[in-house]
A and B are shown apart, each in its own frame.
Chain A
């Protein structure tokens, strides 16, 4: 089979799969390539490299080259379907400028060197930094694209062997608010439900989540559910009209940050109409409130600690009186009748409701609060932890859950529990074979503060793996200039040159995805394994093995005493020993090899689809036939938090009269460092642009394609206008995607964050807009 024939066959197979999703039961003549010819190809399973959905792929390998991709029909996630990124994913392995050698900066120039020499330098600089400036002058910044072994080894090396908690991941920018939301309401992280909820729900409410572009395979499953069941409704709540809005039954636009008021108004209306489940509330819920006017974290070394005050149901109801639909219409711009409509959906006992969200609620200066408030709607009605009923926080990266949340690669976390908890520290010290004193009892630097510390000089050594912060950090100019200051040493492990490798003192070439063995964990608690399918090019080496090599050079090899051949199964065995507990039991290595994915907890090898419900979850205890048991909190109740509406950190004014919102497009993964090297995806969306409302464009004399200058208090840039393209912002709003390293929209954004989760808000700041 020639490559051309293989690609034609792949294209046909993709169309057959898409047809079967859109028209269930569709049949084609025998001989239509439902699958590719097996001639000369070896097919191996893997999760997709890109978003947090965790689609199962089958990769066709021939002569140490990945030549074909198809959706894995055995995967419960995507059932054979893929999106445009998944189908083209292997092409990202073969960009012409792939990093295959290490580089070391010498007199300002990056010089290629043997990788062993580069690793020697990394180890000696790390030791030198610790000797001169102390352990907390060093840190590592990874991502939700780290495999689980990468993140686990990074955490063990820095938190356990070296003894600094300066371990962070870009998932702080992505889903930290989801973590704090889950922790404050349920006491345990990650969703209670799974994607199978799509097959049972009657109503889908999307909170600031353009699923049609960001989670297209799940969106297709939702559309399929609606196609087969005419009563099913999709409601899109957003600040911008998108492809998701177009496909939804109802599109409701609200003003930025007003989702807080909107959620409270829905709760108010449900209580007023007695559309709540009193028995469920009496048995399973307690009521709380915390601090208010909590700030925005824009100043260095910002500190915040919330407090919990128990309140009664009646006190909670009293506080909601500020949020009648008529009052909230004025704050949110959402007509009171639409708020009542939403309350009627959540409150109808005959309808199963799933709420989905991702960055709209996570990248939010009150990110933790809005998660709490959406949980409240499900708790007030008892619509949770059952098939088709539940709140579900989607993730943006393939292992934001698996690596960052489960393996514990945020500064305050350990593979089990928190650094602040003595028992958790003792467990980590025992498993890691380090003195417990090595593990510091205080969290280190969270992401924004890590880059501030680099700028200030408190942090001197930073190792960045599999992420591109010189595109993604908000208020970028400060952090780029800070990283370039004298006396900082920055190591970057990546697969392509990026603006982040531009600031590196050492570049380490990384093995990519299927060039090494690994595991990811997706949004629905599903762990997925793949084997090494290809030899990495040149000197490229997995991020896991780079860390181990550096550890050995630092004299810390005894903690990583594995061979290349056995290191992944041995790491998995060690890591899962943190989780021998029915609440978090992980699958065995063998089970992961044999299946497209396994959801945890899986005590005895049995997956748990719905947590906190004794019918599905062995860790939950049924009392008098009532199966619900929120065992994450000491009182075995979920916590309803009263959280008020508060404004964004920066709002439009006379000088900067427009809201700026940023995000992604379906064709590109994050900063585009891989997808822009896939020609078809690059050609589809070759550059960033600014979306304007047509009325604003007319007022400003801007036509489609005109150059537009955007200016915020932090910077300015010029880019082409897009009017009535794939999205339409509200009047007074603009939207810019962030994938384009030539148009760095984060020069303009603000580094304000949720004081509880420390996750920055990329969705709201103020800008001027003018024709350039």
Chain B
């Protein structure tokens, strides 16, 4: 499932650091909201195994309070 978008919620006060940590991960791009503690995370990975590995790394970030999947496209859909 190589392309996904998430809403990422930081723990209170940790939005900036969370954005930095997410942006540093391979295949991740981040758009922080300008006026809310909320980030948009786009992940683009080559195949399902690396997607799952990335998801585990995301969930281990201590500044992350919650992650909500919005859209996802599997390799077959990308064609």
Contact = CB atoms under 8 A, between A and B. Distances in A.
A14 B33 contact: no
A29 to B, nearest CB: 6
A11 B4 CA distance: 6
Given A15-B5, A19-B33, A28 B72 contact: no
A679 B4 contact: no
Interface string B54-74: 000000000000001011111
Nearest to A33: B31
Given A3-B79, A4-B78, A680-B72, A16 B40 contact: yes
A634 interface: no
Contacts of A18: 7, 68, 70
Nearest to B74: A679
A11 B33 contact: no
Nearest to A16: B40
A561 interface: no
A738 interface: no
B18 interface: no
B6 to A, nearest CB: 7
Interface of B: 1, 3-7, 31-36, 38, 40-42, 44, 68, 70-79
Q: Which of A11, A14, A19, A25 has the most CB of B within 10 A?
A: A11
Given A19-B33, A23-B38, A683-B1, 14 more contacts: A4-B3, A4-B44, A7-B73, A8-B3, A12-B31, A14-B5, A14-B71, A15-B41, A15-B70, A18-B70, A29-B31, A88-B73, A88-B77, A679-B75
A7 B77 contact: yes
A87 B34 contact: no
A26 B38 contact: yes
B76 to A, nearest CB: 4
Contacts, number: 87
B34 A10 contact: no
Contacts of B70: 11, 14-15, 18
Contact of B40 (A4, A12, A91, A683): A12
A400 B59 CA distance: 42
5 contacts: A11-B70, A12-B42, A27-B35, A28-B32, A680-B1
Interface of B is mostly: strand
A22 interface: yes
A751 B37 CA distance: 52
A70 to B, nearest CB: 10
A106 B6 CA distance: 51
A7 B42 CA distance: 11
Interface residues of A, number: 28
B33 A28 contact: yes
B75 to A, nearest CB: 8
A313 B41 CA distance: 60
A401 interface: no
Contacts of A32: 31, 40
B77 A15 contact: no
Q: Which of A12, A27, A678 has the most CB of B within 10 A?
A: A12
Contacts of A88: 71, 73, 77
Given A3-B79, A680-B73, A680-B77, A15 B33 contact: no
Nearest to B68: A18
Contact of A15 (B1, B36, B40): B40
A7 B77 CA distance: 9
A591 interface: no
Given A11-B4, A11-B42, A28 B34 contact: yes
A742 interface: no
A27 to B, nearest CB: 5
A22 B68 CA distance: 11
Contact of B7 (A7, A15, A84): A15
Given A16-B40, A87-B71, A679-B74, A11 B34 contact: no
Nearest to A11: B5
A29 B29 CA distance: 14
Interface string A89-114: 00100000000000000000000000
A19 B40 CA distance: 8
Interface in A1-54: 3-4, 7-8, 10-12, 14-16, 18-19, 22-23, 25-29, 32
A26 B35 CA distance: 6
